[in-house]
Structure 1
Amino acid sequence: MKAFSAAQLSIAVCAICPDIESRIAMSAEAMGERRLWWELSACVLSSQVPYVLAADAASAIDARGILHERDFDDELTDHLTSILRNPGGGRSYRFPVARAQQLAVTKRRVADQFGTLGSLLTVSESPNAVRRWLVESAPGLGPKQASMFLRNVGASYQLAILDRHVIDYMRLIGLRTAQSKPPTTMKQYQRDEESMRDHARDLGFPVGILDWAIWIVMRVAKRQEGARI
């Protein structure tokens, strides 16, 4: 990204962080079980898919109320698959069968071990423990999506969401090399997360707020750079 220096990007990111913190403070409220499942569904469905499309699919699932039926049975996957094929009458979701199965397994495991998703968030000793459980128990949910869920529901702002925009930012400011590959294991993810956490501490913001601002700035910067080519 030749059009913007590392210093310019960091200044822009720091300028946005207070606005994000203010917005979070104004919108902070306890989420009900249905909203928690919408957030988790959107994160599961966002793997290899634009988040806007994942959110539309999560809303389509929520509108049918399938994840909240009293008689939760093995036909859930079939119902979810039919919804995901064309959420909201717009663009079809790319992985309806795989993601529907992953959501079904996740719902059953949460119900079996904790009863509710809200209970998972409250009985675990720390956000790190919740993330670890989600990564190990929710198929298709990696540390990035699990961290995003915990941030979006206000459970923690001390976990990093290392998406491609944040990874690119890390390369540009020297936290990663140009040759380094995105993290593929939890150990690699936590190593990069710690680098981001140190960077966030130096700038005076929680890492979950900082990488949210990075996501916004990098998307805008990439669009502007593309428009100049």
Structure 2
Amino acid sequence: MKKWIKCLTVLCATTTLYTGCGTSKEDALLEKTQKVYANVDDAYNSVKKYANDIYNGCKAYVLQGENLTVEDFLDETNITEDEMLDAMKAYFVEKFGEDQAEELIRSADDDEYTSLVLLRSFSGMLGPAGMGIIIENVYSARGTTEDIQDKLDTAKNTLKEIDSDYEYYESLKDYYTTVSSYYDFCEHLTGTFEQMQDTITGYENDIRKDTNDLKLAID
């Protein structure tokens, strides 16, 4: 009887040990899943705002053309007038060099109309794409683009630690890949305004699909 009880005790202890190990692995996997999802989701929320500002800034030019005002542009985007000016100046410096950029900015210097003169010059040179460049430079100066890239890099490195056989691996990978491509699109704008609209809509639709299964896993 004592021998039987001893064997039963060992069996129970062994079962508990293996059950505990299984639970520990599952917990670790869930933690990694949540980490990837959280980083990609944070990156996506910033990319979405980035894309919306680019789209709305370009839309303002498409609608107003040569009559575009500073108020029109700022009303459509989530940036300040100072940020807009700094973004245009940064482009001029990169494109023409410090000396020429300063001369160009000086020629537009007017206490009342400096912002408007520069915006008209900028849009006249670059068209609607110029509005996208302004937004790109603003988001870069804010540190937003660096933060997006950091979150995507963290998600990518954590994703490498998850077995590809894991139930939600493909959904996690698809979400990461879609948001990365979406971000790259914002950083390297191409095509017409209509193509931009279609591209943004396409990314948003893909992301909704990617996150449907993942929300079940995270919740």
Instruction: Name the TM-score, length of structure 2 as normaliser.
Output: 0.30
State the structure with more CA Rg. 2
Higher relative contact order (CA 8 A, sep 6+): 2
